[in-house]
């Protein structure tokens, strides 16, 4: 049986309502897939003090790759999530007869998403960057560090802006009584060149702090993302 069948009343529904129900099912799927993408790594101290040494550096290469691939998987999941939310909002506006008021907002959201998919939400490309790091004997690794250093901050700031616009649209549609808010972690904004300079001045000691931060960056972000997603899904289900 179709997993979406339980969402459809026995008496049937209009075409527009049925399409909205299917969109909610896709939204739920995009959120459920976070179990496959939003992973925390093992304790950094275990990796640094134990695994990196007993594996003769193999674990270091593995987590170098995984930091990128984790960002890539998260980015793809969130792009689908954002796209489905925009579609859901437009369908709800059509059903409510508020398309003319809501469409300008959703068009802005779609344009911002299209731009972000080429900038702040663009996957890093873990495989290619790992290959380039090998080919350049590690030099390209600093480009990777630059990308990873800013990746989670870029993504959380887009999330905050998107949620703000989504909240405006849903308030107009009467789906909300208060705005949707995403709490930005300002600690994720780090100046690459400053942190690189500090790493050099401290003979690599500060780099360990930097490495710990990039290793654990999403650990505090995931709960905030998931809290917002769960709230959004609950509203969409009851709309």
Contact (Cβ atoms closer than 8 angstroms) between residue 75 and residue 121: yes
| Contact by Cβ (8 Å): 120, 154 | yes
**Is the model's pTM score more than 0.85?**
yes
As given in the structure block, the two tokens for residue 52 are 């990196």
CA 119 to chain centroid, in Å, comes to 13
Which residue has tokens 């275990």?
Answer: 46
Q: What is the pLDDT along the chain (239 residues), one digit of tens a residue?
A: 444 444 444 455 567 778 888 999 999 999 999 999 999 999 999 999 999 999 999 999 999 999 999 999 999 999 999 999 999 999 999 999 999 999 999 999 999 999 999 999 999 999 999 999 999 999 999 999 999 999 999 999 999 999 999 999 999 999 999 999 999 999 999 999 999 999 999 999 999 999 999 999 999 899 999 999 999 999 999 98
Q: What is the pLDDT of residue 18?
A: 81
The predicted structure's pLDDT at residue 8: 45
- Confirm if 185 and 105 have CB atoms less than 8 A apart: no
Name every residue whose Cβ is closer than 8 Å to that of residue 45 and which is 6 or more positions away in sequence.
none
Structure confidence by residue, pLDDT tens digits, 148-193: 999 999 999 999 999 999 999 999 999 999 999 999 999 999 999 9
Structure tokens of 99?
A: 């398309």
Reduce the DSSP state of residue 190 to 3 states and report it: coil
**Token pair belonging to 14:** 């209009």
Give the Cα separation of 179 and 13 in Å (integer): 30
């Amino acid at each position: 049986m179709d997993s979406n069948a339980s969402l459809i009343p026995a008496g049937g529904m209009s075409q527009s309502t049925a399409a909205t129900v299917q969109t909610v099912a896709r939204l739920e799927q995009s959120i459920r897939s976070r179990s496959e993408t939003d992973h925390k790594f093992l304790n950094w101290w275990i990796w640094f003090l134990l695994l990196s040494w007993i594996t003769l550096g193999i674990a270091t290469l593995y987590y170098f790759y995984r930091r990128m691939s984790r960002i890539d998987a998260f980015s793809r999941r969130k792009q689908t999530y954002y796209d489905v939310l925009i579609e859901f909002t437009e369908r709800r506006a059509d059903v409510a007869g508020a398309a003319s008021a809501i469409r300008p907002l959703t068009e802005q959201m779609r344009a911002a998403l299209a731009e972000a998919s080429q900038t702040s939400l663009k996957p890093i490309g873990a495989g290619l960057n790992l290959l380039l790091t090998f080919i350049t004997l590690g030099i390209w690794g600093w480009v990777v560090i630059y990308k990873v250093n800013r990746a989670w901050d870029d993504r959380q700031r887009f999330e905050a802006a998107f949620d703000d616009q989504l909240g405006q649209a849903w308030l107009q549609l009467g789906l909300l009584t208060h705005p949707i808010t995403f709490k930005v972690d300002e600690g994720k904004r780090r100046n690459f060149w400053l942190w690189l300079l500090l790493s050099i001045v401290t003979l690599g000691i500060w780099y360990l702090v930097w490495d710990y931060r990039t290793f654990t960056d999403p650990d505090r972000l995931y709960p905030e993302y998931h809290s917002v997603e769960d709230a959004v899904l609950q509203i969409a289900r009851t709309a």
